[in-house]
Each structure stands twice: as C-alpha cells, then as structure tokens.
Structure 1
Amino acid sequence: MSPATPVSPVVPPVGLDHVRTIADAVLYEGYLLYPYRASSHKNRSRWQFGVLGPPDASPGSFAEAPGMAMQCLLTPPGETPEGTRAQVTVVLRFLQLQVREVQRLEEDGSHTPVGELIVDGVSVLSWDEAVEREIALGGVPLIRPTDRPLTVAGGEDIEPVTDAQGVTVGRIVRRRAELTARVRTETALDEGFVRLTVSVDNEHAATAADKDAAIRASLIGSHLLLQAEGVRFVSLLEPPAEAAAAAGRCRQRRCWPVLAGAKGSTDTVLGAPIILYDHPEVAEQSAGALFDSTEIDEILTLRVMTMTDEEKAEARATDPRAREIIDRCDAMSPADLQQLHGLLSDPYADAYGDTPVDPNAAPNAAPPVDPYADPRDTHVDSRDSRRTDLRDAEPAAFDTGGAPWWDPAADAAVSPGSDAVMINGVAVAKGSLVRVHPSRRADAQDLFFAGQVARVTAVLSDVDGGVHVALVLVDDPAADMHDWYGRYFYFAPDELEPLPDIPGTPDSPEHRKENPS
C-alpha cells in the first residue's frame, strides 16, 4: 500500500516526541471498541470523537459539524528573550478514512466485491480502515493572522490475495477520498497576555448525500499540537492569579487545550476533542493501546482473554490494529497481567513530608504550604510536633480477640459507637462536632459540605487499616431520618476539624441537660 502524500510536509517538528503517546491515544480514541469485531453493533457506528464533517452534507448523512477552534494564552511578548522570535509551531493530526474492499476473482477474470473471503481457512474482511495524517504548518508568528489551505490527496491501492500455493484468489482494493481543509490563526492581547486562536475547518466542496459519503470526506480524530518558541503557554485549568481573568475569557469549540509534556513544562499544548487535564500521561503499566483512553487495561485484557477462538479470528481479520491487541493479550504472562492490577500511591505525599528535606533551609523555617489545606483551617501544619498526622501513624487496628478479620466474631471487638480517632490532638468519637473540609477526591456533593458543621455518628476502620468517620450535618432538617436509616456521609479524619460543643446544638451539654431523654 502506498498512502497518499499530503501537500504539506508531514515531518514532525523537533521536540514533540514527548507528547506523541498521548496524541496517539487521542487520535485513536474510539477507533475500534471491544470486542474489536466488525460484526459487533458498537463497531458499526464508529469515529466517536474529533470528526470534522463536510460542510455541504444532506440531513440524512448525519455528518458532524465541519469545524473546531480553540483559544489558549501565552506569556506577554515582552518576556521573549533577546534575539529569539516569538512564534508557535502548529501541527494538525487526524485520520483519513480508507475503504478496504475485498474482491473475489471470478473464473472469467473479473472481480466481485464480497464482505468476506476465506483463504486457507483464514477470513479476509471488507472494512473501513484509517490512515494517519500529520501536517506541520511551521512557525506561526504572533504578530499577524495566518490562513492556510490544506489538501490531502485521495487514491486507490490494489493488493492481490493469494493462497498457500501462491494462486491468486482475489484482491483487496483500498480507496481514499480527497480531503480539503483550512487552518487559521489569529492573536489578540488580553491584559498583557496573548490570546491565540487556532481554527480548523473542513472545506470539502462536494455534497455528501449519505452517511458513507460524509465520513469518507471527514477529518477523523482531529486534534492540534502547538509548540511555543520564545514564549510560554499559560495553564487554562490552573492559571496564575494575574492570568485568571484572561483565561476565563478563552472560548473553546469542540477542542480543549491543555499543557502537555513533562510536568512543569509550558512549551507545548495539546488541543484535543476530549477534555483532559494538564500534562496527561499514559500509565506506565499500560502495555499498549486499546482505543479507549478512559480504559481500565486489566478489565479489557481479561475480557479479550475470554473471547472464543472464532471471535478472536474475526477480530484479527477486522483490522491490523485489532490483531495487535488480540496477539498482545494472548501473549501476556501472569506477571504481565499482574502488572496491570494497579498500585497504591499517596496523592498527598509531596505535601506531607515525603519530599526531601532541604539541608540549606533555616532551622526554624516554615514548612512548605499544604496545597490541599482549606484556607479557613487555622490549625498548625501537620508536621508540627503539636499535631498528630494520621498519615504518619500506624494504621488503626481494633482488637478482634484473635478472630480473623473475615470471621463475624471479629465484629464483637469493634464498637463504631464508642471507638475514637485522634484529630489535631482531640479524640473524636460518636457525638463529637466537627467542621468538614473535603479534600480527598471530593465530588460535587462533598463540596456542598465544605465549611459545614457535622455530628459524628460512628468511627469505623476497614480491613486495610483505613479510618472512616460517619457524619450527619447538624443543620440538615433530615438528620434524624438519616440516623434512623443509618444513612451517613463518610470522610477521612484529615478532612475534619474538631470543634467544641456549640450551645443549642442537639449534642451540646446544654441541650442534653434540657432534654435528658
């Protein structure tokens, strides 16, 4: 096969290799889904993300919108080192659909298109493949707008199909439609920062009458790689205070920019059709792509291992990349599979004493700022000798009287109603009042509790030694019902601030005296 050559150069710019793994994951997001077979219903409707459809398409073609655009921020041009030109290299990446049609050779020498051709017991299928396209636009100056038309040629390639004796029994015809697009850039100043807009539009001229015609004229998995020279990108997710307002005015359309590359670097941005975080990474345990960037490799690998030989054969015949997945999963050793089982890591390690101590620091220097601390918490730092940090303590363990943890008899030695946990030197148990400061992977519901006063209903410990504090909100009118149902909210001890008894609350000494029952 000899893929069509884009008019624009495809040599990747120097320095982008460090983000190519992530960019490839974006490129093939949804390319082919488990069980990786052509007959699977989920693989009959493909190309889920980053599709730029033809602008002139009939309603019945269900074509995607033809354009995408993103805005990102750069540091002020005045900060560019002397003798360095401020510019940004723009790289557009996408897939070009390639129709793979299998044709059977007839006795009269003609060829008949077929969905499947069996050759020596092996299936050869008709299918829609894709060809990677990468177009580097070179350095884009930040002083004027640019407008760049692009053309990717169509083409046709023919590959003969022969049996084990070398006899030709058919052929594979691969066809690609010509693609045309346009990339525009423009800049504007916003409170001293440079706002760079990059837009990509499909400009296919012909009318797409049906779904097949529309997808063949589309740019699939479209995304952008931007690399700055002489200037730096500003994070839009966590902008510095002076850039927060300008970052808030950036607008995105089907493309979201994030900082890419090594953590802390600010020279590269990935504009993706899926929302990512800054400096995204592929887990080092991942053995290869499974075409789902939110994948859990272990689960998908185990699912592949449960496929029958017939299902695996169809997947291998569906697409060369599917064949790679099946072969990789089949070749996995128990040790390889165990590697996918995951690991435990402490997201708070850098903030709580696991970072190296600076030998040059002053003896009484203030400890580093805890990035997870609630600004309303006036307690001393967790490493201060006056405060006990539960992360540095031995795991909580309740006496089970010698019974194994899984034995119901072990519960007899555990009393969530009377067990306590030390927080900031204060014993917190059932009836204690605390203020909630959600921090550990807090979801939207947890954040509603921020700053709220709650009553502890139990202190529990799991089999791994983790401590969990059950709460009800003091101001919740349904608190009694939650108590009755045993429906509580659970937080880690380091998310709670012990409080003194508050007069008038259900658990204050004053209230208990007035209501002895």
Structure 2
Amino acid sequence: MNVLEQARAVGDAVLYEGYLLYPYRASAGKNKVRWQWGVLMPPSYASADIGEHASARVECLLEPLAHTILHVKLRFLQTRTRLGWDEAVEHEIDFELPLSELPLESPFHVPGELEGTNELSGVLTARVDPLDGPFGGSRLRVELRNTTSWPADGVREHALRHALLAAHLVLGVDTGHFLSMLDPPEWAKPAVEACTQERLWPVLIGDTSRSTVILASPIILYDDPAIAPESPGDLFDGTEIDEILTLRTMTLTDEEKREARATDPRAAALVDRVDAMPPELLERLHGAVRSVRPVEPSVTVAGVRVTAGSHVRLRPNLRGADAQDMFLTGRAATVRLVLSDVDGGTHVAVTLDDDPGADLQHAHGRYRYFSPDEIEPLEVAE
C-alpha cells in the first residue's frame, strides 16, 4: 500500500466514524444524534456560542524544493435524505497549487444533482510563508470554509443538510517533504509551537519524521496511522474493538437485522458481511500485538536473570493500572516472553501458575503483561 492509499484508508475511517452505531438501527437513540466529526456548517447557522463552525484550518511545516506543487484532496460527506433517514454521499475534490503562486483562494461547488441533496459551496485557501532563521523551511496554512447560502431556521438537523461532514484534507507535495508536528527536529520546534490548528490536525502518512503526504484529520491521530490488516470492513466505530462489535452484531435477532438492513445500505452491507463471516476470519479479530517485539529474552530483576520459564510472583503497581490487577497481587506466574516496545521499554509476558488454562493460553499467545518492577523473582540471586 502506497502512502496515498494509506491516507485514503485512514480517511475513510474518519469519514464514517460514528456514521451509524451498533445496533445499526434508525430507531436506536444513539443514531438519532449524528454527525459529530469535522462538521462545517453553513455560515448562517455557525456560531462559536453553540460550538458549530463554518471553517477549519491546518498549519504544518514543509521543506519545499524549487517548483514544488501542493496537491490537496478535499474529502467530505453530504447528507441525502431518503425515507426519513439521512444517508451519506461521498465527495472528493482535487486542487493543484504551485507553491510559487500562493496565496490562492480556490472556490468549489457541489450541485444538488441527486434526489434528496442540496447544493453546497465552499472555498479552500492556501498560503506558505518562509520560516525565520538559518535552517530554511516554510509554514503552510490551508483553510477550508463552507460558504453555502441557506436561510437558517435554527434546527441543527436541517443545517446538517447544507454542511460539509467529516471534512478532512490529504496534502501532498511532488518535491520536498513535510515534517512531523508531533516529533519535529530540534530546530523546528519553535515553529511547530507557533502553528495553529483549528478543527484539523496534521499527521504524517508513511513515516513518523518526514513524508510527502499529510492527513489533516478532524480526529487527533498519531503520525503514520494505519488500518489494522485484520479488520474485514468498516463497523463505523474506530473507538471500539472489531471483535466485540462483530460478536454483538451476530447476536442481533432476525427482526433487529431486518430493521438494520432497512435503515441504510451501508448497514445492510455490514450485517450481510457479519452473517457471512467464516470462523477463520473471526479468529483473526481475536487480537494481534504490534507494539512489542521479542528481544534478547531476559531481563535482570533484583539481581536475578528472568527469562522464558522463570517463576515469579506478581506485585502489580495499582496506580494507573487495570483495577483488576489488584486480584493478582502475590500470585505465582511463569514467564513466557520478554518483550520490548517501540520506545525501548521492557514487558514481561506471563501465565498464572494456578490457571488450569495456562498452557492453552500460551498456545494461543494470550498473556498478562507486567513491567519488570511489577514482578518478584522466585529464584535466588547468585
């Protein structure tokens, strides 16, 4: 997957975050208050007093080369009202902006061609300014504004039909690169602190230090976000666990599934996909650990070398830990793996000695994880 495909995949998750929540029926209370992320209202309705806005702005740092061209991909949803339910229509608008010609204002228009949709209009503004100091670089500012004309009646549900929903930007350069706003080089940190973000947050795609592509998302993300390869399809709730939502959907009654399918074509496709999911695909959802990796399989605790097979006693640090860990204090366990995370921290994976399913847990790679200061070696230091 190249960086643009990765940006699109993460952007799709942003587009449909909260679009329709379990149990995927229009009658569910949680599905009667919708469209929370990246909502740019028509100016006649927008007001800071009620937390509704017509514009968003992103600023990021760029090290351009001569004749660099900025490519902007604007993506958003538009509501389409059919049978009393607002479906989503995807829109994607591309802008090609030579940096040498900035600042520029680029208006856009979406005709209300489909039944149940309204005309939309907006403007994208971009400017670039050189940074002070000897290191070069530039600050890029891109602003997105909904300029749709609509005689506001004060009803949010009506205003949403004239809004840009889940609006986000994919920014790319053909030469040069963007710098990370989360972990910039030392010389760029003052410039990063001077940047202002308004309802859009810039993260690198494809790397965590510099890249030719940035996703400006209404949801705060880390650099180089990606969709888990185990995920078989959108469940419209990236804050939940795919396995849990899939199992919950499987438990819906036939009548509940009929109502969900009748609510929205995307809900119908979701329910159909879950109903047809083979067991081996469901098993893939059970979990994958990517943030840790095996290291030289030992760690020294209280002068004792702890490695796979070592016997320890658990002494969980209860502050900031899982509350259920209090029930593990003093329990004997066997170390199965010593792991290192991406920040260089060490973690010890164990199974409980008095758990009759310990060997089965080990066979499936299901462990409890503790830091070295939360275990007490049962062997005596030499």
**TM-score bin (small chain):** 0.7 to 0.9
1:348 is displaced (CA, Å) by: 5.0
Matching residue within 334, 338, 350 for 2:283: 338
Alignment of structure 1 residues 102-501 onto 2, 5 Å: 126-142=84-100, 144-156=102-114, 174-191=115-132, 192-209=136-153, 210-261=155-206, 266-345=211-290, 347-349=292-294, 352=295, 390=306, 393-397=307-311, 416=330, 463=352, 492-493=371-372
**Matched-pair identity in %:** 42
Tell me which amino acid in the other structure corresponds to 1:67.
Answer: S
**Paired position in structure 2 for 1:93:** 75
Matched AA of 2:96: G
Cα shift at 1:62? 6.5
| TM superposition shift of 1:22 | 0.7
Please give the alpha-carbon distance, in whole angstroms, between the structure 2 residues aligned to 1:398 and 1:388: 11
In 2, the alpha carbon distance for the partners of 1:415 and 1:257 equals 43
Deviation at 1:492, TM superposition (A): 1.6
Structure 2 residue matching 1:17: 3-state secondary structure? helix
* Aligned residue type for 1:42: K
- Structure 2 distance, partners of 1:325, 1:492, is 39
After superposition, the C-alpha distances for 1:339-397 in whole angstroms (9 at most, x for unaligned) are 10002345255xx469xxxxxxxxxxxxxxxxxxxxxxxxxxx999xx9874xx22432
Equivalent residue runs for 1:9-88 within 5 Å: 16-57=4-45, 64-75=52-63, 77=64, 80=65, 85-88=67-70
1:193 Cα deviation (Å)? Answer: 2.1
User: Which of structures 1 and 2 has the bigger CA Rg?
Assistant: 1
Structure 2 residue matching 1:224: 3-state secondary structure: strand
| Structure 1 residue runs of 4 or more that deviate by more than 4 Å after TM superposition | 262-265, 387-390, 414-419, 438-442
CA contact (8 A) 2:46 2:54 kept: no
Q: Distance in 2 between matches of 1:325 and 1:418?
A: 44
Given that residues 299 and 372 in structure 2 are in contact (C-alpha distance below 8 angstroms), is that contact kept between their aligned partners in structure 1? no
**TM-score, normalised with respect to structure 1:** 0.58
How far 1:248 moved relative to its partner?
A: 1.5
Deviation at 1:69, TM superposition (A): 0.4
* Count of matched residue positions in the alignment of Structure 1 and Structure 2: 331
Instruction: Name the amino acid aligned to 1:229.
Output: D
Distance 1:341 1:216, change over 3 A: same
**Distance change in 2, residues 1:463/1:54 (3 Å):** same
Q: CA deviation at 1:87?
A: 2.3
**Aligned mates of 2:257, 2:331 — CA distance in 1:** 54
Give yes or no for contact 2:71–2:172 (8 Å, CA) kept in 1: yes
**Farther-moved stretch of structure 1 (25-34 vs 258-267):** 258-267
1:418 shift after superposition: 12
SS at match of 2:87: strand
1:217 & 1:232 partners in 2: Cα distance? 35
- The two structures have a TM-score, normalised by structure 2, of 0.77
**Structure 1: how far apart are the matches of 2:293 and 2:46?**
53
SS in 2 for 1:23: helix
CA gap 1:15/1:303 in 2 versus in 1, 3 angstroms: closer
- The structural deviation recorded for 1:142 is 4.9
Give the conservation status (yes or no) of the 8 Å contact 1:143–1:187: no
Q: Structure 2: how far apart are the matches of 1:23 and 1:342?
A: 23
Cα 1:254–1:130 shift into 2, 3 Å: same
- Distance across 2 between alignment mates of 1:341 and 1:153: 44
Contact 1:57 1:63 in 2 (8 A): no
Distance of aligned partners of 1:396 and 1:152 in 2 relative to their CA distance in 1, 3 Å threshold: same
Contact 2:235–2:242 (Cα < 8 Å) also in 1: yes
Cα distance change, pair 37–232 in 1 and its aligned pair in 2 (3 A): same
C-alpha displacement at 1:50, in angstroms?
0.5
Q: Which shows bigger deviation, 49-58 or 30-39?
A: 49-58
Residue 206 (structure 1) shift: 2.2
Q: Which runs of 5+ in 1 are unaligned?
A: 1-13, 102-125, 157-173, 355-381, 400-413, 422-437, 443-459, 466-489, 497-517
Say which SS state the counterpart of residue 116 (structure 2) adopts. strand
SS in 2 for 1:155: coil
User: What's the counterpart of residue 430 of structure 1?
Assistant: none
The answer to whether the Cα contact below 8 Å between 2:168 and 2:218 also exists between their aligned partners in 1 is yes
**2: CA distance between counterparts of 1:417 and 1:190?**
58
Work out which structure has the larger RCO, using CA pairs closer than 8 Å and 6 or more positions apart in sequence: 2
Instruction: Supply the distance in 2 between the matched residues of 1:230 and 1:220 (Cα, whole angstroms).
Output: 31
Contact 1:72–1:257 (8 Å) recurs in 2: yes
Amino acid at match of 1:73: L
Distance 1:417 1:47 in 2: 47
User: Deviation at 1:253?
Assistant: 0.4
Mapped to 1, the partners of 2:270 and 2:92 lie a distance apart of 24
Q: Cα deviations across residues 495-516 of structure 1 (Å, max 9, x unaligned)?
A: 99xxxxxxxxxxxxxxxxxxxx
Distance 1:215 1:415 in 2: 52
Deviation at 1:229, TM superposition (A): 1.8
Q: Which has the higher helix share?
A: 2
Deviates more, 1:257-266 or 1:315-324: 257-266
Q: Which amino acid aligns with 2:20?
A: L
Shift of 1:263: 6.2
> In 2 relative to 1, CA 495–397 (structure 1 residues): closer, same or farther, beyond 3 Å?
closer
Task: Work out whether residues 94 and 221 of structure 1, in 8 Å CA contact, stay in contact via their aligned partners in 2.
Answer: yes
**Which amino acid in 2 is paired with 1:308?**
T
